């Protein structure tokens, strides 16, 4: 027989549950309470749950009050026994049962905020410390941190480092990192950006627990307009169950402020919360529950005084509120700011409130320090987001900037001001509020206020700026009159004129509105075309890129309208308006011109840009010097990118010029001996049908199994010598450049960079790969066991990648004898190669032809070897690495369980794309270039720019960019010298960055004096004595001689020798040196101008 279910209404709370005698153990009472909670929860008996929690007999063990004698989180948490809905009643009961604490908190909080705003921060810190004695809270931690920072009252880092002692039961490392970022004025935006990325990851995971946890975090840190994707409900309060009573109380108010939450509060809970607001003396909670829509009489009166222009009286009334109340002026900060402007008060910044109004004033007046003021106010609003004055300030600031801020964000901020209740002005209470003085009041308004509120003769479109004291008001008023009278082109030109004279006016110009309106205007002359293009461009700079595609299409229409693709042909005057100058300077840029197929090449586009810059220079533009610099930069970039592409795309280099100069007579002698060989030198090719191939014959010859003929000996001698000179010579041979430009870190760095950029690899130290701190920190909120598995997988992946790169890198060597070698640059003396040598000798009409064809044949063999290198990359390395990425992704997915790790898996996908791009780049390295470009010349400045550009491209993710400045210079280098200097500077930069003291900069300086161009690359050393420094210099320079020439083809510890050798063999005009001073290492490159000056005639200006 079924039992009748018990209704929750039949259950009741019995205070006798707390009856104990002196023999009743505490554990028995606790057990009794827990059983009662379980029973109430099963039947959803919310009121009995509330009554039990509110009892003053409830043991402290169940109440999260962490006083001076209680450790944080030392509480018997019952949240696991309750559903989210029932937990809300439990929590509300705890608030009732401890109303005295919350009453103290609310009153103390008002005093603390008054101290913060009105210049007594030390008193605020004392009040916080007193409050902590009764109950510690994260709210107190954060507000103390921000007071210390904003008023320079202590070291915030030191304060945060001591926090763990206050929370011995929890790991708060991540919380401390977050607070550190938030507290720094310059880094709170970094925190926000990273935080929102993490929120996106939570939401993309489709794991509801992760999504809910993210929403709770977002509520704590961000105002809703910064994260409009979060979805909150009252049930999520349960996630805060371990936090202190004060923190949970603050959280309750914050969550009620969110959209739609107020309407979801259960009917029987609302009266309880209203009663609670009375008990704890909290007007804010009362306003939230009542959703009061009226304004207090004295606030209305002050607003009216301000509106009617009675600024002195309004100011005195606000001052009275500041002195006599703690919070009634919180909604009046904008009015206070404007009143000060009208009264022409000198800005004082002796208190935070005065500092806020001074900065707000600068923003309204489009002051030159507007950006700094905006950053300051945004930072203050962000840090103190939980305080009602900051919520009000946020709304009034955003509403002032409504032309550049999304209107939904303004409305979101407005709704947050509900917490002020009747202290709100009408502007904050009512959406899109616009004051409408009565007809009788209009007559009493100052003229400028009448203009602002819309009273103007419609026949008069122009507003007199001299009668409106607040610049932003004048801009808004004038634009409104233009638009209301359909004077759209005038409005656009007004906006352009103001923007060009003061870019901060863009905060108030209706740029987005005008972009929308101007789209439909007929474009029938150049002026309207240019005005429209300029306003679209300003839109992109100030707000967003929504009109970029339209701008591109309109630019093409404009050029078609003028029947040319060259803007320089449209303007034949030497005088330009500011608007036209802007158009030429900022819109007629290479990326815009490049859309026209009429330009035959990128060079053609650049040449047109130079023609445009010449127009501006000839017109004596206001920014003539800046434009001249841009012209020089455009030209140098053009040449440096060409040089860089040439050097980077073909790394198979032999200094043939040096080879010919140094070995010419030797090969002339060999040629003469060869043509004298009795019976002729021509060697018969093998008959493949007999099953003997060239490799077989090579092995027989090497093993001396058969005697070599005079002919074979001669051919073998020529081949081995040309291989030794062309491929192996330590001064100018191929292997020297393979070592310097591929094997010496460059190849491994280039490929490894794509894994470093996505943080998938770490480095090896003392035989083990370091923990991947980037991802372990990123996923510190995930279960430790899972994170450890991630770290282990990434460590194995790092090892796999490095092993593969090392293996392939070792293959890029020259081989001359071992048939089983994996070295891809194979110059073994196979029979068919000797046949080819014999043909070259036989067919040559003289020595010159022989030697030229001999070197060409070496390039043919090198081309075959280059294809082998490319096959090694395509057919072995690429599949192996892509497979390693697949295995890593599978491993991550297998251990992550329900954890949200979207970012890591996305970065693995990104790495595949990056890797394929890098492989394509490296494949292009295996093309050959000789030094035959002896008559191709480059300016020294071009070589320097190309080097820095290349270095930052490859190492920008790994090292701080070197700080450099080069002097203007016309010194000319041929391609051979340019390449040598490029490689040497690149190597020196890599050494300096690699061995620099951590967190220090590398500097590159350039000087041209005394007939010498000097480039210095300077890095701070790890601390060593002056004696050790001298020994370092002496040890390195002792290797700079022929005895150590083998270092040219060795990797590791040979970088400085390679620089010395490369420059020495390139030109006598180069001089390389190293020195130390004051624990700095300096690489010095000197170019003696006399060796290079005579080439200026070959270079066009």
Cα of 593 vs its chain's centroid, Å: 29
Q: What is the mean pLDDT of the chain?
A: 87
* Strand 768-769 relative to strand 764-765, pairing: antiparallel
Cα of 438 vs its chain's centroid, Å: 52
Which long-range contacts does 640-646 make (Cβ < 8 Å, 24+ apart)?
Answer: 640/942, 640/943, 640/945, 640/946, 640/949, 641/946, 641/949, 643/938, 643/942, 643/943, 643/946, 643/978, 643/982, 644/946, 644/949, 644/950, 644/982, 646/929, 646/975
Looking at the fold, whether 262 and 281 belong to one and the same domain comes out as: yes
Q: Which of 367-376, 424-433, 544-553, 943-952 has the lowest mean pLDDT?
A: 943-952
pLDDT at 931: 46
The pLDDT of 502-506, averaged and rounded, is 95
Asked whether 618 and 611 are in contact (CB, 8 A), the reply is no
Looking at the fold, whether 148 and 236 belong to one and the same domain comes out as: yes
The pLDDT of 177-198, averaged and rounded, is 83
Q: Residue 1100: count other Cβ atoms within 10 Å of its Cβ.
A: 3
Q: Is position 450 within any domain? A: no
Helical spans, DSSP H, in 650-685: 656-675
Quick one: angle between helices 138-150 and 245-256, nearest 10? 80
Q: 920 pLDDT exceeds 60?
A: yes
List pLDDT tens digits, range 840-892.
Answer: 999 888 888 899 899 889 988 988 998 899 999 999 999 999 999 999 999 99
Q: Considering Cα of 269, then 275, then 281, then 287, what sign does the dihedral take? A: positive
Cα(540)–Cα(524) distance, integer angstroms: 24
Q: Which residues on neighbouring strands pair with residue 1008, listed in sequence order?
A: 1013
Q: Is position 444 within any domain? A: no
Query: Looking at the 3D structure of the chain, how many domains does it have?
Result: 6
How does residue 1101 score in pLDDT terms, banded at 50, 70 and 90? very low
Asked whether 1057 and 931 are in contact (CB, 8 A), the reply is no
pLDDT at 937: 78
Q: 751 pLDDT exceeds 80?
A: yes
Q: 338 pLDDT exceeds 70?
A: yes
pLDDT at 651: 77
Q: Which residues on neighbouring strands pair with residue 1080, listed in sequence order?
A: 1020, 1077
Q: 531 pLDDT exceeds 90?
A: yes
Q: 1097 pLDDT exceeds 50?
A: no
Q: Considering Cα of 594, then 600, then 601, then 602, what sign does the dihedral take? A: negative
Cα(69)–Cα(374) distance, integer angstroms: 43
How does residue 459 score in pLDDT terms, banded at 50, 70 and 90? low
List pLDDT tens digits, range 1075-1085.
Answer: 998 889 999 99
Q: Which is higher by pLDDT, 896 or 788?
A: 788
Looking at the fold, whether 61 and 175 belong to one and the same domain comes out as: no
Q: 1 pLDDT exceeds 70?
A: no
pLDDT at 379: 94
Cα(272)–Cα(922) distance, integer angstroms: 71
pLDDT at 994: 85
Looking at the fold, whether 301 and 238 belong to one and the same domain comes out as: no
Cα of 43 vs its chain's centroid, Å: 53
Closest CA relative to residue 985, chosen from 934, 1023, 942, 930: 942
Q: Is 936 exposed, middle or buried (0-12, 13-18, 19+ CB in 10 A)?
A: middle
Q: Is position 582 within any domain? A: yes
Q: 1041 pLDDT exceeds 90?
A: no
Q: Is position 52 within any domain? A: yes
Looking at the fold, whether 579 and 483 belong to one and the same domain comes out as: yes
Token pair listed for 871? 């096959």
What CATH number is attached to the domain comprising 1024?
3.30.565.10
Q: Which is higher by pLDDT, 622 or 421?
A: 421
Among 66, 96, 126, identify where a domain stops: 96
Q: Is position 747 within any domain? A: yes
Q: 900 pLDDT exceeds 90?
A: no
pLDDT at 4: 47
Percent of the chain residues topping a pLDDT of 90? 52
Q: 7 pLDDT exceeds 90?
A: no
Q: Which residues on neighbouring strands pair with residue 1087, listed in sequence order?
A: 1013, 1070
Cα(359)–Cα(355) distance, integer angstroms: 6
Among 225, 259, 290, identify where a domain stops: 290
Q: Which of 447-461, 735-749, 760-774, 1080-1094 has the lowest mean pLDDT?
A: 447-461
Q: Is position 380 within any domain? A: yes
pTM attached to this predicted model: 0.75
pLDDT at 488: 93
The pLDDT of 639-668, averaged and rounded, is 78
Looking at the fold, whether 628 and 774 belong to one and the same domain comes out as: no
List pLDDT tens digits, range 8-17.
Answer: 567 888 888 9
pLDDT at 109: 97
Looking at the fold, whether 693 and 748 belong to one and the same domain comes out as: yes
Cα(333)–Cα(354) distance, integer angstroms: 10
Looking at the fold, whether 1014 and 883 belong to one and the same domain comes out as: no
Looking at the fold, whether 42 and 170 belong to one and the same domain comes out as: no
User: What domain range includes position 810?
Assistant: 656-926
1005 three-class SS:
strand
Q: Residue 928: count other Cβ atoms within 10 Å of its Cβ.
A: 17
Q: Is position 1094 within any domain? A: yes
Q: Is position 3 within any domain? A: no
The pLDDT of 79-91, averaged and rounded, is 95
Cα(326)–Cα(451) distance, integer angstroms: 35
How does residue 453 score in pLDDT terms, banded at 50, 70 and 90? confident
Looking at the fold, whether 283 and 307 belong to one and the same domain comes out as: no
Distances (CA, A) of 575 to 471, 607, 620, 622: 30, 22, 8, 11
Q: 695 pLDDT exceeds 50?
A: yes
Among 874, 895, 926, identify where a domain stops: 926
Looking at the fold, whether 724 and 594 belong to one and the same domain comes out as: no
Asked whether 1040 and 1084 are in contact (CB, 8 A), the reply is no
pLDDT at 705: 37
907 three-class SS:
helix
**CA angle, residues 925, 928, 931, in degrees to nearest 5:** 125
Q: 163 pLDDT exceeds 80?
A: yes
Token pair listed for 195? 């935080």
**Which residues, 6 or more positions from 818, have their beta carbon under 8 angstroms from its beta carbon?**
none
Looking at the fold, whether 460 and 604 belong to one and the same domain comes out as: yes
Q: What is the DSSP letter of 387?
A: S
Report phi then psi at 939, rounded to 5.
Answer: -70, 150
């Amino acid at each position: 027989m079924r039992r009748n279910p018990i209704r929750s209404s039949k259950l009741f709370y019995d205070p006798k549950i707390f009856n104990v005698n002196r023999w009743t153990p505490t554990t028995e009472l606790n057990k009794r309470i827990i059983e009662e909670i379980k029973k109430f929860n099963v039947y959803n008996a919310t009121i009995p749950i509330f009554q039990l929690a509110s009892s003053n007999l409830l043991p402290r063990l169940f109440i999260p009050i962490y006083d001076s004698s209680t450790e944080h989180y030392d509480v018997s948490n019952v949240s696991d026994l309750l559903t989210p809905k029932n937990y809300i009643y439990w929590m509300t009961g705890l608030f009732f049962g401890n109303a005295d604490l919350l009453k103290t908190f609310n009153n103390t909080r008002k005093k603390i905020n008054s101290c913060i705003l009105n210049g007594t921060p030390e008193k605020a810190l004392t009040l916080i410390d007193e409050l902590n004695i009764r109950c510690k809270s994260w709210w107190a931690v954060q507000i103390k941190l921000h007071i210390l920072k904003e008023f320079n009252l202590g070291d915030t880092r030191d304060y945060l480092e001591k926090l763990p002692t206050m929370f011995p039961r929890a790991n708060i490392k991540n919380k401390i990192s977050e607070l550190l970022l938030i507290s720094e004025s310059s880094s709170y935006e970094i925190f926000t950006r990273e935080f929102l990325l993490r929120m996106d990851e939570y939401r993309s995971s489709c794991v509801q627990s992760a999504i809910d946890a993210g929403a709770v975090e977002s509520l704590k840190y961000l105002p809703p307009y910064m994260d409009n994707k979060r979805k909150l409900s009252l049930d999520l309060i349960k996630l805060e169950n371990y936090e202190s009573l004060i923190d949970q109380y603050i959280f309750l108010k914050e969550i009620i402020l969110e959209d739609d939450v107020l309407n979801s509060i259960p009917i029987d809970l609302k009266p309880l919360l209203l009663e609670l607001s009375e008990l704890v003396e909290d007007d804010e909670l009362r306003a939230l529950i009542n959703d009061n829509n009226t304004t207090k009489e004295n606030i209305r009166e002050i607003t009216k005084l301000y509106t009617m222009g009675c600024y002195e009286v309004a100011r005195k009334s606000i001052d009275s509120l500041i002195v006599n109340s703690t919070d009634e002026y919180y909604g009046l900060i904008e009015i206070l700011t404007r009143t000060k402007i009208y009264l022409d008060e000198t800005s004082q910044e002796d208190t935070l409130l005065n500092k806020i109004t001074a900065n707000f004033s600068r923003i309204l007046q489009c002051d030159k320090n507007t950006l700094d003021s905006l950053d300051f106010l945004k930072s203050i609003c962000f840090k103190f987001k939980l305080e009602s004055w900051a919520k009000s300030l946020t709304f009034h600031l955003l509403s002032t900037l409504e032309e550049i801020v999304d209107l939904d964000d303004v409305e979101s901020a407005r709704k947050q001001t509900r917490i002020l209740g009747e202290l709100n002005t009408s502007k904050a209470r009512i959406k899109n509020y616009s004051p409408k003085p009565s007809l009788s009041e209009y007559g009493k308004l100052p003229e400028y206020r009448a203009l602002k509120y819309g009273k103007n003769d419609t026949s008069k479109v122009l507003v007199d700026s001299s009668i409106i004291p607040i610049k932003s008001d004048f801009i808004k008023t004038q634009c409104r009159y233009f638009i209301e009278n359909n004077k759209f082109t005038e409005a656009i030109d007004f906006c352009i004129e103001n923007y060009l004279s003061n870019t901060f006016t863009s905060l108030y110009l209706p740029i987005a509105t005008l972009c929308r309106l101007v789209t439909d205007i007929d474009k029938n002359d150049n002026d309207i075309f240019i005005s429209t293009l300029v306003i679209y461009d300003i839109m992109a700079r100030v707000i967003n890129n929504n009109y970029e595609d339209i701008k591109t299409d309109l630019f093409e229409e404009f050029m078609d309208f003028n029947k040319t693709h060259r803007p320089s042909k449209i303007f034949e005057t030497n005088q330009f308006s500011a608007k036209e100058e802007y158009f030429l300077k900022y819109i007629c840029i290479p990326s815009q011109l490049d859309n026209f197929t009429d330009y035959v090449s990128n060079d053609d586009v650049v040449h047109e840009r130079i023609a445009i810059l010449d127009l501006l220079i000839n017109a004596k533009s206001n920014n003539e010097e800046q434009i001249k610099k841009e012209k020089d930069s455009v030209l140098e970039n053009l040449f440096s990118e060409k040089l860089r592409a040439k050097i980077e795309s073909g790394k198979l280099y032999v200094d043939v010029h040096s080879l010919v100069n140094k070995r010419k007579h030797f090969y002339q002698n060999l040629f003469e001996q060869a043509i004298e060989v009795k019976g002729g030198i021509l060697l018969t090719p093998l008959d493949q049908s007999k099953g003997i191939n060239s490799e077989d014959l090579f092995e027989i010859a090497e093993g001396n199994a058969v005697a070599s003929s005079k002919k074979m000996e001669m051919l073998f001698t020529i081949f081995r010598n040309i291989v030794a000179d062309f491929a192996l010579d330590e001064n100018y041979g191929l292997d020297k450049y393979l070592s310097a430009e591929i094997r010496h870190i460059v190849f491994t760095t280039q490929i490894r960079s794509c894994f470093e950029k996505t943080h998938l690899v770490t480095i090896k130290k003392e035989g083990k790969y370091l923990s991947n701190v980037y991802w372990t920190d990123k996923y510190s909120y995930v279960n430790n066991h899972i994170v450890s598995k991630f770290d282990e997988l990434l460590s194995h992946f790092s090892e796999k990648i490095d092993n593969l790169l090392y293996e392939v890198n070792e293959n890029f060597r020259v081989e001359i004898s071992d048939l089983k070698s994996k070295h891809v640059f194979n110059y073994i003396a196979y029979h068919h190669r000797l046949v080819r040598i014999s043909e070259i000798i036989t067919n040559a009409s003289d020595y010159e032809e022989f030697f030229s064809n001999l070197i060409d044949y070496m390039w043919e063999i090198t081309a075959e070897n280059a294809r082998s290198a490319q096959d090694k990359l395509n057919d072995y390395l690429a599949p192996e690495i892509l497979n390693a990425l697949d295995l890593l992704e599978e491993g991550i997915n297998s251990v992550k369980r329900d954890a949200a790790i979207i970012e890591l898996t996305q970065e693995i996908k990104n790495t595949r794309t990056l890797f394929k791009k890098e492989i394509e780049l490296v494949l292009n390295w295996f093309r050959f270039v000789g030094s035959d470009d002896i008559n191709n010349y480059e300016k020294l400045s071009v070589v320097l720019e190309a080097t820095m550009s290349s270095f930052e491209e490859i190492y920008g993710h790994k090292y701080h960019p070197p700080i450099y400045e080069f002097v203007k210079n016309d010194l000319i280098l041929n391609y051979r010298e340019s390449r040598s200097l490029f490689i040497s500077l690149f190597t020196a930069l890599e050494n300096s960055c690699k061995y620099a003291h951590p967190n220090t900069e590398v500097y590159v300086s350039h000087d041209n004096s005394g007939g010498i161009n000097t480039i210095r690359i300077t890095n701070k050393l790890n601390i060593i004595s002056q004696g050790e420094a001298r020994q370092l210099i002496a040890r390195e320079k002792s290797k700079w001689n022929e005895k150590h020439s083998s270092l040219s083809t060795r990797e590791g510890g040979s970088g400085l020798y390679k620089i010395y050798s490369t420059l020495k063999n390139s030109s006598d005009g180069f001089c390389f040196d190293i020195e130390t001073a004051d624990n700095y290492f300096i690489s010095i490159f000197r170019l003696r101008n006399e060796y290079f000056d005579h080439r200026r005639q070959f270079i066009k200006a």
